[in-house]
Amino acid sequence: MQRFNLYQEEYHPSPLVNIWLEFRRSHIALSGFVLLVLFLIITVFAPLLAPYSPELQNTNAILLPPSWEPNGTIAHLLGTDGLGRDVFSRLLYACRTTFGSSLVIVAISVFIGVGVGALAGVLSGLRSSIVNHLFDSIMSIPTLLIAIVMVAILGTGLFNAMMAITLALIPQFVHQTRTYVRNELQKDYVLLDRLDGASSRRIFIFSILPGMVELIVVQATIALSVAIIDISALGFLSLGAQEPTIELGASLSLALDVAYVAPWLIILPGMCIFLMILSINVVGEGLRSALRNRLHH
């Protein structure tokens, strides 16, 4: 950044740049962001990064401890599991499944949630009341319960778990969008648009949506961490991803049988989930305080 400024004019960054500048001021938020980017890279490039195939069973090295332990080898960085598969490679693939599917879930929920929320915000009278109460009710049903019902109907599997979690995540976006749209519709700039003859759809897309993006992004970070927890929890309960799909929660439950002899098989996947959620929460918190600071000044 330039240090000297010849001109009196102040530098007025655009809102997005401003958020980034505010965000960057917090070192913790920034390190969370770096970690998140790392997970994103793993998600995209897992096959390139993994030293072994996750299915490859090395029968000569079963339950090998991580390489820093006395009898670990550098060939298997984080050791091997009960079938002699390389833990590091499996972790990369598992991160990929968990993080990737969570991203997809959140993207779909945002898309549907904002759409329905906008509709509910514009609607009035009985119809809006029905839509609102319906979604508010779904919001308070525990995710696991929805997942159990979905699994009971459709059977286990990653895709069904994803559907259940999407269903559970949508209402909060609906709720938030609806409240925001409701509030904005009362404001004068919307009235001005309306007097100019703009349709409700046009008002939503061009006047309300741009102001809402930040809000949605922050909400999406929360949803992302919830999605990761839920996906891995369902995997852990063997209601989600099934073999041969490799998923963090599922790997954790597989490791339960050998927990006595190989505690690292429990520690490592859990650590991955924890770090993933932590990084997202840190970034989300950083974004929120950046937004708050921007509005404050």
Partner 1 sequence: MIKLFIRYLNLIVITIFTLIFLSFLLPFMFPGDLLSNISGIVPQTNEQRLALEHAYKLDQSIFHQFGFYIESLLNGNWGVSLADQATLYNEVRIAFPATLELVCYALVVSIVIGIPVGFMSGLKNHNPIDFSVVTFSMVGYSFPVFWLALIFITIFCLQLEWLPISGRVDLLFDIPVDTGFLIIDIARSSIENKHQAYMDALQHSILPTASVAIVTTALFVRFTRRSIMDVMNKDYIVAAKSRGFTQSQIFFKHGLKNALLPILPILALQISTLITNVMIIETIFSWPGIGRWLIQAIYQQDYPAIRIGMLVVSLFVMSMTITIEFITRAIDPARERAESAAL
Partner 2 sequence: MALLEIKNLTLFIDTGNATVKALEKVNLVLNEGEILALVGESGSGKSLIVRCIIGAIPDYWSIKADRITYAGQDLLNMSYEQRRQIMRREIAVVFQEPTSSLDPSVTIGEQLEESIPDELISKGWFWQKNKQRRQIAISLIHKIGIKEHQKYLSAYPHEIPKDVSQKIMIAMALASEPKILIADDSTRGMESTTKIQILRLLLKLNKTKNLAILFVSHDLLAITSVAHSMTVLYCGQTVESGRVKSLLKRPLHPYTKALLDSAPSFQVSLPTKSPLVALEGTIPTLQHLPAGCRLGPRCPNARKECVQVPAPRAIQDHTYSCHFPLHLPEKLSHQAQRISKGIGGDE
Contact residues toward partner 2 (CB under 8 A) are 8, 10, 293, 297
> Which of residues 133 and 202 has its CB atom nearest to partner 1 in the complex?
133
- How far is the C-alpha of 135 from the C-alpha of 170, rounded, in Å? 8
> Which of residues 10 and 243 has its CB atom nearest to partner 2 in the complex?
10
CB under 8 Å to 27, separation ≥6 — which residues? none
> Which of residues 10 and 188 has its CB atom nearest to partner 2 in the complex?
10
- Residues lying near partner 1 in the complex (CB under 8 A) are found at 133, 137, 139-145, 148-149, 151-153, 155, 182, 225, 229-230, 232-233, 236-239, 249, 252, 256, 259-260, 263, 266-267, 270, 273-274, 277-278, 281-282, 285
Q: Which does 232 bind (CB under 5 to 8 A by kind): partner 2, partner 1, none?
A: partner 1
> Which of residues 194 and 288 has its CB atom nearest to partner 1 in the complex?
288
Q: Which does 51 bind (CB under 5 to 8 A by kind): partner 2, partner 1, none?
A: none
- How far is the C-alpha of 76 from the C-alpha of 246, rounded, in Å? 18
Each as own residue / partner, the long-range contacts of residues 39-48 (CB below 8 Å, 24 or more positions apart, any chain) are 39/95, 39/99, 39/275, 39/276, 39/279, 40/99, 42/92, 42/95, 42/96, 42/99, 43/95, 43/96, 43/99, 43/100, 43/103, 46/92, 46/93, 46/95, 46/96, 47/93
Minimum CB–partner distance for residue 211 and partner 1 (Å): 19
Q: What share of the chain is helix, strand, coil (3-state, %, to 5)?
A: 70, 0, 30
Q: Burial, 168: exposed, middle or buried (Cβ in 10 Å; 0-12, 13-18, 19+)?
A: buried
CB under 8 Å to 59, separation ≥6 — which residues? 84
> Which of residues 19 and 147 has its CB atom nearest to partner 1 in the complex?
147
Q: Which does 10 bind (CB under 5 to 8 A by kind): partner 2, partner 1, none?
A: partner 2
Q: Which does 297 bind (CB under 5 to 8 A by kind): partner 1, partner 2, none?
A: partner 2
> Which of residues 58 and 179 has its CB atom nearest to partner 1 in the complex?
179
> Any idea which residue has 């000569």 for tokens?
60
Q: Which does 8 bind (CB under 5 to 8 A by kind): partner 2, partner 1, none?
A: partner 2
